[in-house]
Amino acid sequence: MKINLLKTALIGALSLSALVSTSASAHGRWLLPSHTSLSGDKAHYVMIDASISNEMFAPDKAFKPKEKDAQWDDTLLMALMPNGEPVSDTIRAYYLKRKSSAAISLTEQGTYHIAMTQKPMYMTFYKDEEGKRNRVFGKKTDAKLPNNAQGVRTTKVISTVDTFVSRNGTSKPALLGLGLELSGPTHPNDLFVGEKARFQLLQDGKPVGEGIEVNILRGDTRYRNERGEVKVITDKNGFFTTTWNAPGVYLIETATEVDVKEKGVDSGRYALFTTLEVAPE
């Protein structure tokens, strides 16, 4: 029951079907762990930064706390232990203007699945009298639109923003079970330059199917003239492969379009932003 409540908080209520490919978001949402692998007899803390930015892993916009003018949020992050149960400690994420930051205690051996608990986001798109495309946040029934707005459509977006941290060795990460997420056979904390990784993209715990584009982007984009995304496509069982050509922290980003049965909403989308670390050879 406890884990089901966490999943509900993570994804939100949706009635979804009809999977098709769609482009990923222009602004990356990400979690950045201080470590992806730790070892030792005593429990360790891992620091988690969260932000939204165009330059990957360079903090730009923090996630504001739910309570107005609060300096922290106890509901922004969640973590599943290696046995699939949620961590019992409160995860307090401090609001630091350009990023949110929290510490999570790793008491068990194995791999923790750490994610944001974001609510659905509504975006309403329209064209003005000059034909220029614009958007506002909120449903079209609530949004403030110009009187001459045309082609008004509201999209409901559910984002999974996650990462993995292992203590004293790896174990099969617990699945969130809802929304988009990565599964093996390659372990997310066992990645090395020059080695091929194979993942399966899941939606609501099931393979997404063929033809979904996945973007793979190494961090520190501000130091490169070209962003250098690698684009791969899922096969009929939702699998995709990639070979890492440089060490560093990567963002795996993809999205799927879905049907939404909700008044005032025309379409829906799942989005995924997964942070992985690749070690040198």
For 208-255, how does the pLDDT look when each residue is reduced to its tens digit (9 = 90+)?
A: 999 999 999 999 888 888 888 999 999 999 999 999 999 999 999 999
Q: Has residue 127 been placed in a domain? A: no
Q: Which residues contact 244 (CB under 8 A, 6 or more apart)?
A: 191, 192, 193, 194, 195, 197, 250, 278
Pick 220 or 170 by higher pLDDT: 170
Token pair of 152 as six digits:
């008004």
Residue 56 has pLDDT above 70, yes or no: yes
Q: Indicate the pairing of strand 44-53 with strand 100-106.
A: antiparallel
Whole-angstrom distance, CA of residue 257 vs CA of residue 281: 37
Residues contacting residue 112 through CB under 8 Å, at least 6 positions apart: 46, 79, 80, 81, 82, 87, 104, 106, 164, 165, 166, 167, 173
| 16 — pLDDT class (breaks 50, 70, 90) | very low
pLDDT digits (tens, 9 = 90+) for 171-190: 999 999 989 999 999 999 99
- Two tokens, residue 81: 């232990």
Q: Which residue has the higher pLDDT, 200 or 260?
A: 200
Domain count, the chain: 1
Measured distance CA(56)–CA(74) in Å, rounded: 25
In a domain, 16, yes or no: yes
Residue 208 placed within a domain: yes
- Would you say residue 137 lies in a domain? no
Cα separations (Å) of 24 from 53, 56, 198, 249? 14, 14, 20, 19
Domain that holds residue 74: 2-122+154-278
Confidence of residue 260 (pLDDT cuts 50, 70, 90): confident
CATH number of the domain bearing residue 30: 2.60.40.10
Two tokens, residue 245 = 């050509």
Asked whether residue 136 is assigned to any structural domain, the reply reads no
Residue 82 is predicted with a pLDDT of: 97
In a domain, 39, yes or no: yes
From CA 65, how far away is CA 241, in angstroms rounded? 37
Domain contains 49: yes
| Residue 130 domain flag | no
